[in-house]
Amino acid sequence: MVKVLIINAVIKGYHEFKIKPPIGMSLKVTKEYGNKYDEHACLVWIPELETIPRHLWDIVTDAKRNETIQTIAGLPIGRVPRGLSSCFWKLLESDDIECIKCEQTDVPCQSFPPWPQPMGSGGGAVIPCNYHVQVKQGCDASGVLSKINDAILNMPERNVLQVKIV
Sign of the four-CA dihedral 135, 26, 47, 49? positive
Give the tens place of pLDDT for each residue, 100-154: 999 999 999 998 888 888 777 777 899 999 999 999 999 989 999 999 999 999 9
Residues 122 and 116: their CA atoms lie apart, in Å, by 6
Query: What is the set of domains in the chain, with CATH numbers?
Result: 2-165 (3.30.70.2330)
95 pLDDT above the threshold of 90: yes
